[in-house]
Structure 1
Amino acid sequence: MSFAAAVAAKPAARGVVAARCAFLALLAFYSFRILTHPVASNYVGETFLHLVNLPFHEAGHVLFSPFGRFLQVAGGTIMQLLVPAVVAISFYMRKDRYAAAVGIWWLGESMADVAPYADDARAGQLPLLGGVTGSEVEDYHDWEVMLGKLGLLTWDHSIGSFFFVTGGVVMAAAIIWGVMVSFRQPEAD
């Protein structure tokens, strides 16, 4: 459905398109706010969605604990990224493309949320769960542990930047796809 067709559509269909686009505009604004702050500022870690991502991150440590220390530590980030990916795939399989786009956006936001943590691996200055920083407690900062074991600790800023930039690209692509889906099939999805 083109923009002109959406305008000429039934009022209910126009309302669906308008509501979807309004929500996508909110996600675009949220994305813009996240992406216009430096990774090291941890702005994304102070947002509402960080509190949504955090339980999945912590659950990942528990779920991956039977597989050794490295995977227990990595499990936090794995779960934090896996849950929105599974949500997106689930909606896509149900042919709800708009909801899949929102799920993909969440994956991008979650990637941006991982970025400051990875970026902080050497400095260990971010306040962590438990009220301490990575520099205060040995073997406590996930990314310090992972990158240290892999011999990649000096790559922390590059890895943090990778997560941040990739997260931004994923969020932008998801918003664009969501708008396209909204105008194509406002009633079917």
Structure 2
Amino acid sequence: MAGICPACGIAYQKWLDRQAQNQDQQPKQADDQSSSFTVAESVSLSQRIKALAFYVPENVEPLGFWGRVFLLGVFFIWGWSFILGGISWESIGGSFLHNVILPFHEFGHVLFSPFGRFMAILGGSLFQVLMPLGLMLAFLIKQRDAFGASIMLWWSGQSFIDISPYIADAPYRAIPLIRGMGEEAHDWGNLLTMTNSMDMAMPLARMSFGIGSLLMLMGCAWGAYVLYLQKGKLSH
């Protein structure tokens, strides 16, 4: 009879079928386990990010809390003054914060100079928007200060806005540069010339302004929510 050993009479076919069934199930089980590990890691990572972004100490001092409330109000109003002012060199370039950003912009040129002329020119604008984001991570990870991190996100947004009139000025090179530099030192005039995309000056300026406005509002909303959470932990 098929599937039965003629010598000993054992039905070996059933054993073979069972082995094949077990082998089919093992890869499926391995895939299920791998999938569950991936989901668990994803959930764990999202939980860690959430814990950092909305960290609240067990006890919040009232004086410090109300000081942060006042500070958030200042940044919110200040942010709206930039947003409502639009892409205007007079209002943006004349801001106190522009003079604070300027040294970081100049350092960016030096920092990125080993990567070629294009990156050395772009490095000024690039570093001035990345530096506040680096500080944001430092506030989150090192200081466990979610509110401070939200203000750094606001600052990165303001840095994007700070760049926008510089980009818009690329075809004209009319903005006065530091240390009496001539038109040949205009970052975005050079960048858009090198990439043959001078016609993109205004769209890029609007994009930078839009990103900046969004980040500033996100920073204020984040800070407000952190303060809402901290209010429940006020010490008495």
Q: Same fold judged by TM-score > 0.5?
A: yes
**Do 1:42 and 1:116's aligned partners in 2 also have CA atoms closer than 8 Å?**
no
Alignment of 1:69 onto 2:114: no
CA drift at 1:185: 2.4
- Paired AA for residue 137 in structure 1: E
Which residue among 139, 156, 159 is the counterpart of 2:201? 156
Counterpart residue number, 2:229: 184
CA drift at 1:13: 3.6
Counterpart residue number, 2:5: none
Counterpart residue number, 1:59: 107
Where relative contact order (Cα < 8 A, 6+ residues apart) is larger, the structure is 1
- Paired AA for residue 217 in structure 2: A
Alignment of 1:96 onto 2:148: no
CA drift at 1:116: 0.7
Counterpart residue number, 1:137: 183
CA distance in 1: counterparts of 2:132 and 2:86, whole angstroms? 24
**Do 2:154 and 2:220's aligned partners in 1 also have CA atoms closer than 8 Å?**
yes
- Paired AA for residue 165 in structure 1: G
Alignment of 1:113 onto 2:159: no
CA drift at 1:155: 0.7
Which residue among 168, 173, 176 is the counterpart of 2:213? 168
CA distance in 1: counterparts of 2:96 and 2:119, whole angstroms? 27
- Paired AA for residue 20 in structure 1: R
CA drift at 1:33: 1.2
Give CA-to-partner distance per residue, 1:127-175, whole Å, 9 cap, x none.
Answer: 111235xxx533x110011111112211111111111111011001101
TM-score (norm 2): 0.69
Counterpart residue number, 1:28: 76
**Do 1:108 and 1:167's aligned partners in 2 also have CA atoms closer than 8 Å?**
yes
Q: How many pairs align?
A: 174
CA distance in 1: counterparts of 2:133 and 2:210, whole angstroms? 18
| Rg larger for | 2
CA distance in 2: counterparts of 1:106 and 1:89, whole angstroms? 13
Counterpart residue number, 1:3: none
CA distance in 2: counterparts of 1:27 and 1:14, whole angstroms? 20
Taking every aligned residue pair, what percent have the same amino acid on both sides? 32
Give CA-to-partner distance per residue, 1:87-137, whole Å, 9 cap, x none.
Answer: 0111112321101101101100111101111111111111111235xxx53
User: What CA RMSD, in Å, does the superposition of the two structures yield over aligned residues?
Assistant: 1.8
**Do 1:40 and 1:119's aligned partners in 2 also have CA atoms closer than 8 Å?**
no
- 5+ residue gaps in structure 1? 1-9
- 5+ residue gaps in structure 2? 1-58
- Paired AA for residue 147 in structure 1: L
**Do 2:173 and 2:183's aligned partners in 1 also have CA atoms closer than 8 Å?**
no
- Paired AA for residue 149 in structure 1: M
